[in-house]
Structure 1
């Protein structure tokens, strides 16, 4: 009986039930009407008979005895048959009976017309309302197909139809969200391809130029050596760009499965800066580690090392000669925090909200301009493990990146 939850279904069902009740009540009303009408007809027939007999001189006593008599004799039956009043006779011979029959037919027709009109009117109203609702639904669905999700199906009623409309509305919301996601993905892909083309165009142009110089001056070893070194730098930049881009895309695609385990923080930090010590030494910068040597953290060691290394490289890119880059860590009851601090040029307030955007390199001075993928990659790695990467900085006062790992219970 779930269909009765719908208000229109309830009204339609109530109309049909009322019509059926009236049809069931019809035989009682009809039989009562027929009994009264035929009783009146019989009375009028007797009145006409008595009036005729009195006019012919029949005594009142004889008429009274005849009216009280209930016996049927063969002589009486034969007389009536000769007069045409047999079991099969023409109703014209009894005008009162003809009139009563017509009245009974009219009354029966009127009595049946009421439930029929009620049923027909209720059905017509029900189907008109249903048609209007369906037309609105069709219009809304067509708008959905065209990509316009501003209209909604009516879902403020009860019943299966409104449950269906509510499901369609939810589906349209999901489709709208998916369309928005696809639109943003297309825009991001377009911007990414443009950025990658721009990032690769610079080293490729440089390589082309260096190759032409080395080809035109083969007899000058110093020139060949210098531009060979520059060619290697451009190739290294391209390689780093491609590697970082592949890692970011893997994280975006969800194809990275983080294998978290208990790691010693000091060993993690040492492994992260192993490949950067030579650069720091050549640039006369100090890499300093501070923290409890026995402290541990629950994380994916390889990917976390990648995140820390990117933050340290970013610090090397934005510090002067003689600067100190400090990697420290401490535990609180809820989490372990690992900080990568430097005393470099800092990040301007204009750049700070954008530093985690891909290919954003900022407007501050940098000895070695970055690619703009290291910080987004570091944040994606932390968030993929349920952690958090935050930054605090002020122009000219250095920068501090904080990696927060929740304490495993």
Structure 2
């Protein structure tokens, strides 16, 4: 009986059982008392009949034999019919029935009425309590529909109703998580739009100024070439900025699914520095790659190369001409470590705890064109794959960035 699993229903059912048992006991006691009354009335009738017969000078032995006589004769039937004592005589006309059956019927009616009242009162209380439970549950569910999750449905009970409440609570948790995610997404979108507007303001203003200069001096070939080159640089910066912002947005909103597979660390490093070798050559800097060429790691190669490339770019930004950027890797029992080390200016202690924040740029940065997104993007990529990105640096001695990924 599954309906008994619910605590309140089980209590109500036990209440009905107790009432029924109590009713049977009381009716049994009434029957015993009624039987005693019948016995007393019969004895009094026998005493009365015996006394009358003795007054009529009937021998006592004959009177005693009459009480023990069981044979029915025609004369006896005729006598009783004459005085109105037959099977067809209405019960209410018979004195014995009046003295026994009618009180018994009244007692049973009273007991039935009493117990019916108790059962109906108990049922009314049960259903009223259940109605209040439904009303409270309805209020909570309406709060859930309005994205208000400060109250909760009753829990801890058993039975189908509480299983239903548990399912609704699970649904409410999903709705709450979705609502919080939407709220964060709206906040992120608002901040992202503000950041994009702020970051694009400078290159757009510079590009507008370059176009005005070119328009004012169309005959000055040197000025046209110079400011055309600067315009292209501003456009490239805008493109890099927009691409970085879009990547950050995809990572922060969780829309990126990292497709991990085994790849060679040497191929990963080559892919990361491919677009930076020419810049390093032009700036008089070296990029060295060190490590076992046969070593493999388990990661999303495209995104990890993006993170590693950002670390190399950051090293180039903070290394003077003649400096060296060294990429290396090493396998440990549980993790795989990629390192990017430079011998540049290093990071000040007041900046080292903020460099992974979006749009953060130290006051000593020589990369005036940067937007402060590279390190933040690299850390998000590492953490998105279950890894981590850390830094160790001393001013004037260079920095070491370590990208840690767990092995498969």
Q: What TM-score, normalized to structure 2?
A: 0.85
Alpha-carbon separation, structure 2, partners of 1:142 and 1:88: 70
Secondary structure of 1:120's aligned partner: helix
Partner Cα separation in structure 2 for residue 29 and residue 171 of structure 1: 56
Alpha-carbon distance between aligned partners in 2 of 1:262 and 1:91, rounded to the nearest angstrom: 106
Displacement of 1:30 in angstroms is 6.2
Asked if structure 2 preserves the Cα contact closer than 8 Å seen for 1:263 and 1:301, the reply is no
In 1, Cα distance between the equivalents of 2:14 and 2:360? 69
Asked whether 1:172 is paired with 2:172, we answer yes
Corresponding residue of 1:74: 74
Shift in CA distance, 129/256, structure 1 to aligned 2, threshold 3 Å: closer
CA contact (8 A) 1:329 1:339 kept: yes
Q: What pairs up with 1:10-409 in 2 under 5 angstroms?
A: 10-22=10-22, 32=32, 35-54=35-54, 60=60, 62-90=62-90, 93-113=93-113, 115-251=115-251, 252=253, 254-256=255-257, 258=259, 260-265=261-266, 267-408=267-408
Contact 1:18 1:115 in 2 (8 A): no
Q: Secondary structure at the residue paired with 2:130?
A: helix
Q: Distance in 1 between matches of 2:188 and 2:225?
A: 40
Classify the secondary structure of the residue corresponding to 1:275: coil
Distance 2:300 2:90 in 1: 109
| TM-score, normalised by the number of residues in structure 1 | 0.85
Assess if the C-alpha contact under 8 Å between 2:258 and 2:300 holds in 1.
Answer: no
1:215 CA displacement: 1.4
Residue-pair matches, total:
407
- 1:225 is paired with a residue of what secondary structure? helix
Query: Cα deviations across residues 329-365 of structure 1 (Å, max 9, x unaligned)?
Result: 3333333322112233333444434433333334443
Contact (CA 8 Å) 1:19, 1:116: kept in 2 or not? Answer: no
Contact 1:153 1:165 in 2 (8 A): yes
Q: What is the CA–CA distance in structure 1 between the aligned matches of 2:341 and 2:113, rounded to whole Å? A: 93
Structure 1 regions of 5+ residues with no counterpart? none
Q: What is the CA-CA distance between 1:170 and the residue it aligns to?
A: 3.3
Structure 1 stretch displaced more, 185-194 or 303-312: 303-312
**CA–CA distance in structure 1, aligned partners of residues 198 and 97 of structure 2:** 108
Kindly indicate whether the alpha-carbon contact (under 8 Å) linking 2:237 and 2:369 is maintained by their aligned counterparts in 1: no
Tell me, in whole angstroms, the C-alpha distance in 2 between the residues paired with 1:300 and 1:46: 110
Counterpart secondary structure, 1:174: helix
Per-residue deviation, residues 210-261 of structure 1 (Å, max 9, x unmatched): 2122112223223222221111111111121233334444555545553523
- Structure 1 residues 395 and 133, CA gap change in structure 2 (3 angstroms): farther
CA RMSD of aligned residues (A): 3.1
